[in-house]
Amino acid sequence: MPFKDFSKGLVKANPLFVLVLGLCPALAVSTSIENAFGMGLAVIFVLVLSNLIISLLRNMIPKDVRIPCFIVIIATLVTIINITFKAYLPSLTESLGVYLPLITVNCIILGRAEAFASKNPPLRSVLDGVGEGIGFLLAMLLISFIRELLGSGGLNFTILGYKLGEFTIPVFSSMPALFFIMPTGAFLIIGLLLGLFKKTGVLR
Amino acid sequence: MNELLALFLKYALVNNFILVMFLGLCPFFGVSKRLSDAIRMGLSVTFVMVASAIITWLIANFILIPFNIEFMENVVFILVIASFVQLLEMIIRKTSIGLYRTLGIYLPLITTNCAVLGIAEINYTNGFSFLGSIASSLGGGVGFILALVIMSGLRERLEISDVPESLKGLPIAFITASLLSLSFLTFGGLRI
């Protein structure tokens, strides 16, 4: 059932809300939809390719040194995305800051490499990577939607440098609840979302 | 000297690694259930942070920059950190089996701790001097211990308090962290 490898990452094994992995970027970069989308895309790129490469090499990598091998593969992919972003999306790179190179140590990527890609054939690993990656992106978009809406009083749909549209709440935007843009708001939103999901049981 | 102190305070309080910059959250929520574990974890992370800041500074300034291979920094840094953590794990396993058992799964996870690679990247991109790198990493480590210890104390109390069913466990931990983070934001007023 290869399709199941894809779909489980979206809801049932959502990396952020169910496995609670990859928190650093999820909290730090989710201040705006633009940042969240950029980070999500970068994570999908690295996750899919690292799953593919590790799955192809799974019988060649010695068991005892597998973690360093995985990390080198992941770090190389992160370097690629880092340089690409720097060249084509300088302003996005600026706002992602140190969190872009830190994708290397994102628990989701190493976690999927260890738990899935090192044991399964390439096609299934890629599907798993795509699913988990999109699950991460969707979760990031949800958090950043709430934070940007409340924290800056409007939404700015800019994706990879292309502006798609804008939306502001009339009176609220002149004095938005800055609280939600600050680190405090990130912890609060994710805590409340986790509680809400637990209460309603939608992720089960 | 003042400059070093300013860097130390900046990363210990103003830009607290956990509560303001979100680096090293996995051990923060995983290990912070008991005070004694929190202190041990905090100390080992601080040790690794300072040591890897020293090593990565030397590598960056004596190998990467002279040979014009700065684009390799991510790969090189993480490799150095990973092998260093592996070494530390071996030493702890040989010297204290109790400590090894309590920290269990989290010791290898220091490798993938954002705080350790984070401080290396921060030192590198900001171009800190050798002593500056040590000051910032020490500050980051102390801030890490501080947040971990405060959080573990709060969580020990939370265990016996009456929390709504759906918020039990992680959700309430996040909300507690949110309030803690709010109090750390006030350090932003420090003029350093």
**Short-list A180, A115, A112, CA closest to A150:** A180
- The residue with tokens 């912890």 is A187
CB contact under 8 A, A71 and B78: yes
Exposed e or buried b per residue across B96-130, where buried means at least 16 C-beta atoms within 10 angstroms of its C-beta: eeeeeebbeebbebbbbbbbbbbbbbbbbeeebee
Nearest to A188 among B25, B75, B175 (CB): B175
pLDDT average, residue stretch B151-169: 84
Contacts of B116 in chain A (CB under 8 A): 105
> Residue B54's pLDDT band (boundaries 50, 70, 90)?
very high
Q: Does the pLDDT at position A160 exceed 90?
A: no
CB contact under 8 A, A28 and B22: yes
- Distance between CA A38 and CA B69 in Å, rounded? 26
Nearest to A191 among B21, B122, B175 (CB): B175
Task: Answer whether B53's CB lies under 8 Å from B119's CB.
Answer: yes
CB contact under 8 A, B78 and A195: no
Contacts of B164 in chain A (CB under 8 A): 195
pLDDT average, residue stretch B3-31: 83
Its pTM stands at 0.87
**Short-list A107, A143, A131, CA closest to A29:** A143
**Short-list A4, A2, A12, CA closest to A135:** A12
The DSSP letter of residue A63 is G
Instruction: Check if B5 contacts A (Cβ < 8 Å).
Output: no
> Residue A204's pLDDT band (boundaries 50, 70, 90)?
low
Task: Answer whether B4's CB lies under 8 Å from B132's CB.
Answer: yes
Contacts of B150 in chain A (CB under 8 A): none
Q: Does the pLDDT at position A101 exceed 90?
A: no
Q: How does the average pLDDT of chain A come out, rounded?
A: 84
> Which residue of chain A has the CA closest to B77?
A75
Query: Interhelix angle for A122-152 vs A183-200, to 10°?
Result: 120
The DSSP letter of residue A164 is E
Neighbours of A135 (CB within 10 A): 27
Q: Does the pLDDT at position A53 exceed 90?
A: yes
**% helix, strand, coil for chain B, step of 5:** 80, 0, 20
**B61-88: per-residue pLDDT in tens?**
998 888 888 888 888 888 888 888 878 7
Strongest mean pLDDT among A21-25, A53-57, B95-99, B113-117: A53-57
> What token pair was written down for B27?
């051990």
CB contact under 8 A, B174 and A83: no
- Distance between CA A68 and CA A86 in Å, rounded? 26
**B97-139: per-residue pLDDT in tens?**
777 776 655 566 676 678 888 888 888 888 888 999 999 999 9
